[in-house]
Structures are given as structure tokens and as C-alpha cells.
Chain A
């Protein structure tokens, strides 16, 4: 069974700080996605990475897919209270399926 482990599980920081969330697996994924989920809502896709070593930027968020396509990281620069939420990574097991394996999640709280 493929597993995705996220760390840290919880993160509480002050506005303006930087942070990194990690998503690790012993398995190779064809693609990896990051979602953010706010209380009472479903997850919303932030980014998809498909190439080993790929780096994508979304404003203050930087996503990286590991060279071996087994791990990923999400870096937030100058965090803001609006970044608060549950961050989930999800890996696709093969190129022919949308069946995703989700990580356990990182709950981020950014205080003003």
C-alpha cells in the first residue's frame, strides 16, 4: 500500500514567518497535487506537479516535486492569516488514473 506522510502535522506561526511542509513516500508517483481545505469546505486544488525536480510558484507558495518523484514540499513565504487551513498532498499512483492517495495533512494556523 502506498503511503504519503506529511510533516509537521500541526504548525502555528506568526504572520510574516516562512514555513515548509513536507510530503514523503517510499513509492514513486506519476504526479502529485497539493490541496488546501478550509473549515466546513472540501479541499481545493492548489497545484499539480508531474516532472521530477519540477518547481512551481503560486504567489507566495512554492511547490517542489522531488527528483525521484517520491516526495514534495510546499514552502510559504511571509505567511498571512488567510493561509490558515489544512494542507493536503495527494499522489497519483499511475498515469492512467485519477485515483489519489492522500497524505495525513498539515494543519496551519497563522496568527496576526
Chain B
């Protein structure tokens, strides 16, 4: 069974803290993605990666960075968390090419206080 695993389901962090969200997939997928989901705004792409050590900015990369040192792992980093980064974060992965199935993790709920 395919699986995208996000290490933390619920986190509460203080403003200014450095936050790591980890994501692992077991499907040998080339592509990995980080989205945030907010009510009324749908899913917005933060960063994506087509290969190890490769990353591209999505639509809302400001305040975030990513790391992909291994094919199966894609990390999202908030260098200095702010309250407007309180959100649900979704990791996803897929094989290359348009129209392929994208598999999502269960999401990480981050609250920044």
C-alpha cells in the first residue's frame, strides 16, 4: 500500500522558532511537494522537488525553505515561524509526468503562538 508519512500531526510552536516538518514516501517517487491548506484558499504550493537536491519555488515560498537529501525524504523548514504560518501543511509525492496520481500525507497541523 502506498504511503506518504508526515512525522508530526500536530505541533504548537512559538513565534521565531525554527520548525522542521518531515515527510517520507515509500513509493520511489521522483516528485515531492509541500502545500499549505487554509479555509477558502484551497491548497497552495510552497515548494516542490523533481529529484534529489533539486527544488523549485511554488506559489508561496516566502518564509519557507526545503531540503531533499534523499529521494524518499522531503523536509519543509520554517526558519523563523510567524503566526501567519499557522496552517495545515500537506506533503505529497508522485511519479514524473502530468496526470499521474499524486499521493498526499495526512497533514501536519501547525499552530504558531
A and B found bound together: yes
**Residue A94 is within 8 A (CB to CB) of chain B in the complex:** yes
**Residue B106 is within 8 A (CB to CB) of chain A in the complex:** yes
The stretch from A11-19, A37-45, A56-64, A72-80 touching chain B is A37-45
Are B104 and A42 touching (Cβ within 8 A)?
A: yes
How far is B31's CA from A75's CA once the two chains are assembled, in angstroms? 31
The stretch from B14-22, B61-69, B72-80, B90-98 touching chain A is B90-98
**Residue B44 is within 8 A (CB to CB) of chain A in the complex:** yes
Are A43 and B45 touching (Cβ within 8 A)?
A: no
Contact flags B22-55 to A (C-beta < 8 A → 1, else 0):
0000000001010100001111110010000000
Are B98 and A88 touching (Cβ within 8 A)?
A: no
Q: A88-B43, A104-B41 are in contact. Are A98 and B98 (CB under 8 A)?
A: yes
**Residue B4 is within 8 A (CB to CB) of chain A in the complex:** yes
Report A-chain residues with C-beta under 8 Å of the C-beta of B105.
42
Q: A9-B40, A42-B4, A42-B90 are in contact. Are A100 and B102 (CB under 8 A)?
A: yes
Are B44 and A40 touching (Cβ within 8 A)?
A: no
- Rounded to whole Å, the gap between the CB of A63 and the closest CB of chain B is 14
- Rounded to whole Å, the gap between the CB of A25 and the closest CB of chain B is 13
Report B-chain residues with C-beta under 8 Å of the C-beta of A103.
42
Report A-chain residues with C-beta under 8 Å of the C-beta of B48.
99
Are A42 and B106 touching (Cβ within 8 A)?
A: yes
Closest residue of chain A to B9, judged by CB? A40
Task: Give 5 A-B contacts (CB < 8 Å), ordered by A residue.
Answer: A6-B42, A42-B105, A43-B43, A45-B102, A92-B98
Q: A42-B90, A43-B43 are in contact. List 12 more A-B contacts (CB 8 A).
A: A1-B59, A33-B99, A42-B4, A42-B92, A48-B99, A48-B101, A92-B99, A97-B98, A98-B97, A99-B58, A100-B45, A100-B102
> Using a CB–CB distance below 8 Å, which chain A residues touch chain B?
1, 4, 6, 9, 30-31, 33, 40-45, 48, 50, 88, 90, 92, 94-105
